[in-house]
Structure 1
Amino acid sequence: MGEGRDGMRICYLATWTASTEKMAKYFAKRGNEVHFITFDAPIYDYDPEEVVVHDLRRSGGSPIHRKLLNSVLYRTIRARQEINRIQPDIIHSHYVTEYGIIGLFLRRHPFVLSVWGSDILIDLKGRMGPLILQALRAADHVHCDGRNTYQAVIEQGIRPPKVSLIYFGVDTGIFRPDPPDEGRLGEEAGPVKRIISTRMHRPIFDVGTLIEAIPLVLKDYPDARFTIVGGGPLRETFMETAKKTGIDEVTDFPGIVPNSHLPHLLNAADIYVSTSLSDSGLAISTAEAMACGLPVIITDFGDNANWVEENKNGFVIPARSPQALAEKIVYLCKHPLEREQIGMNNWLKISEEYNYYREMKKIAVVYSYLMNGGGK
């Protein structure tokens, strides 16, 4: 497909997350004019730098008004107004169920569509399924971040080169282990071990399983401490549960943390946990933890079993199993040599196979291919 080109005007339709922010900024720094249209609250505060953010959120007074403002029709009309002003060379929507359907109705090309997991693995089977399928077929290119989503798209009759498997990647210059005298490794002699979770506090990520596992861990390893990063509708519930069960004194809830601060928190931890009930490929949060040299304990979804080999990169456990999670946490707490070797394995694996700059260059090649008439 070539080496990619710059000087384009790119418009993203997406929620402002760590992954979409990194992609937008990558292309802005390459000399492209980058716009970002969103109707959702950002996962954390905007830091757009060279990216022009069009935050089209509106609040309504009555339930009917709010429903109208959140409707696909209204959002499509507002997005079209902005796009008519921007006149982008490429439109790139993220998450089919919301922004992909808006992209479908815009009928502008080239149109790139990124699937995220639940949209293709769950929502496709529901009432939005017909529109999701139309969006997949209307896109000039479908980008997948995991083998499971890639296979799901192919099963809908969409074949390469129209579909690609390209990871969002991790910037291993930022997410990396601290030198031994600065972070976790310099404190190895101490008995206290810190376990971290960085998933959002929403039902799909099942952080409640970690909350349930904490008392079980403390029975076998009283020096365990927990950092549960993130926000969402269940955060207050988790904090209240921690207080009621008496684990609040060993559990921190720092809330939503800017991506720039995450390497510090990860390097202050010893073990990473993800209890998600659905993932597309390898979750970015898991990859970031691996890049910082942490062993990981994650549920058996997405491509997790392909990335995490038992006792080499960490452990893959059944979903909704506090007991299994607690057992693996205790094991890693009690086996420092294995823990550090697993962490080193993970840093090397992400550096070699999940590099942000290498993956974004592949997206640039897709853009160039479409701009030169490919995909038609």
Structure 2
Amino acid sequence: MKIALVSDWYYPKIGGVASHMHNLALKLKERGHEVAIVTNNWETGKESELAEKGIDLIKIPGVVSPVLDINLSYGLKSSEELNEFLHDFDVIHSHHAFTPLALKAAKAGRIMNKATLLTTHSISFAHDSRLWEALGLTIPVFTSYLKYPHRIIAVSKAARAFVEHFTDSPISIIPNGVDDKRFTPLRNKEELKSRLGIEGKVVLYVSRMAYRKGPHVLLNAFSKIEDATLVMVGNGEMLPFLKLQAKFLGIDEKVVFMGYVEDNKLPELFGIADVFVLPSVTAEAFGIVVLEAMAAGVPVVATSVGGIPEIVKENEAGILVPPGNELALRNAIQRILTDQKLREWYGSNGRRAVEEKYSWDKVVLKIEKAYEEVLLSK
């Protein structure tokens, strides 16, 4: 098959959509398909790697918003202007349901009678509320474009509940994947901690420093936890505030702000963690970082928002707490840090779930099957 993966939100935009597209492209190429990533006309940082792997990178011209990271030119133009970039492909697979290139590609693919799919990676507040039925009617641009895909793929039940307010297209659930050969339990954990200058137990946070991710809640919860170091990985608008917050709480010597960390260094950081925390306060469709922790055999503490319970609770990979509840978050972290058997149990459950359900080797087969089904039925 000749497959185009299309989105505004490929690299250099950091996030789950870019990670998912990149890994999917690599796996599809491994399986013998011709693959191209279609995105905005900017430096992705992945040019050399894609060229080395034989994956085409097609850059769509236009003005890109520095705030929203979307192609403003193609937000205004007709989708027919994408036809010239997509006409050679058998499968058009858009990613992220609410950005211009993904929507325009879905319409272009359907008009050209290509197998057309769209993966939705996001939710919003009250994602399963009937409120969105009314809002869906007031945002006709979404409903008009989301009728074009032959099939929509949702990364979680929560993502499906949100997108179905905007479309009657068939929806399948195929979860995000993780590279379980890169992220794996490490045996030399203490040696790595020593090399990084970290002593004692490690609480790890990897995500954007943004309000909806809840890093401020985590700092407050961690302020009363002793004999542990909090390692916070990621950049974002809240980072200066969080550093001041740590100083105000008197824990700045126990908190390591690492900023942006390159992908190839993340497995080592997950490897030294004793517990991984994702304290999101809202709108979390899935959380690939949770899968990375599980693949590394690290127990998870996360909030019961969006699609997170589908990963953590259903696989008994950790503890869920209400969003914004600092006391519950602190108690859950302390419980795991002080109980080695519990840490090992949650960690082994998470690793097993990844191997059985979330490994990219398993996920790519499900997506490939969806392509084949659409090609046969369109």
The verdict on a shared fold, with TM-score over 0.5 as the criterion, is yes
Equivalence for 1:300: 304
DSSP 3-state at the match of 2:268: helix
Equivalence for 2:158: 148
Shift of 1:211: 2.0
Q: Deviations over 1:221-273 (max 9, x none)?
A: 2x110111112222232233223433222212222223332211101110000
Q: Is the 8 A contact 1:272 1:297 kept in 2?
A: yes
Q: CA RMSD in A?
A: 3.5
Shift of 1:70: 5.2
Relative contact order, CA 8 A, sep 6+: which one is greater?
Answer: 1
What TM-score, normalized to structure 2? 0.81
Shift of 1:75: 4.3
Q: Is the 8 A contact 1:13 1:91 kept in 2?
A: no
Task: Provide the C-alpha distance between the structure 1 equivalents of 2:174 and 2:41, rounded to a whole number of angstroms.
Answer: 25
Give the count of matched residue pairs: 354
Moved more, 342-351 or 285-294: 342-351
Shift of 1:80: 5.8
Question: What letter is aligned with 2:139?
Answer: G
Equivalence for 1:3: none
Task: Provide the C-alpha distance between the structure 1 equivalents of 2:318 and 2:102, rounded to a whole number of angstroms.
Answer: 35
Shift of 1:291: 1.2
Question: What letter is aligned with 2:298?
Answer: L
Equivalence for 1:53: 57
Equivalence for 1:12: 6
What TM-score, normalized to structure 1? 0.81
Q: Percent identity?
A: 22
Q: Deviations over 1:250-304 (max 9, x none)?
A: 2122222233322111011100000122222x42110110111111100001233
Which of 335, 340, 356 is the equivalent residue of 1:331? 335
Q: Is the 8 A contact 2:229 2:254 kept in 1?
A: yes
- Return 5+ residue gaps in structure 1 as ranges: 1-5
Q: Residues 213-252 of structure 1 correspond to what in structure 2 (within 5 A)?
A: 213-217=221-225, 221=226, 223-252=227-256
DSSP 3-state at the match of 2:152: strand
Equivalence for 2:14: none
Q: Structure 1 residue 279 and structure 2 residue 284: aligned? A: yes
Which of 182, 193, 200 is the equivalent residue of 1:192? 200
DSSP 3-state at the match of 2:84: helix
Q: Is the 8 A contact 1:198 1:228 kept in 2?
A: yes
Q: Is the 8 A contact 1:229 1:253 kept in 2?
A: yes
Equivalence for 2:119: 114
Q: Structure 1 residue 349 and structure 2 residue 350: aligned? A: no
Q: Deviations over 1:163-194 (max 9, x none)?
A: 2111122222222111x3x225998xx98110
DSSP 3-state at the match of 1:231: coil
Question: What letter is aligned with 2:189?
Answer: G
Q: Is the 8 A contact 1:14 1:36 kept in 2?
A: no
Which of 150, 161, 165 is the equivalent residue of 2:173? 165
Question: What letter is aligned with 1:130?
Answer: P
DSSP 3-state at the match of 2:324: coil
- Return 5+ residue gaps in structure 2 as ranges: 11-17
Q: Is the 8 A contact 2:189 2:272 kept in 1?
A: yes
Q: Residues 12-161 of structure 1 correspond to what in structure 2 (within 5 A)?
A: 12-16=6-10, 17-39=18-40, 47-48=49-50, 49-56=53-60, 72-75=72-75, 77=77, 83-87=83-87, 88-98=89-99, 99-104=101-106, 106=108, 107-108=111-112, 109-118=114-123, 121=127, 126=135, 129-154=139-164, 158=168
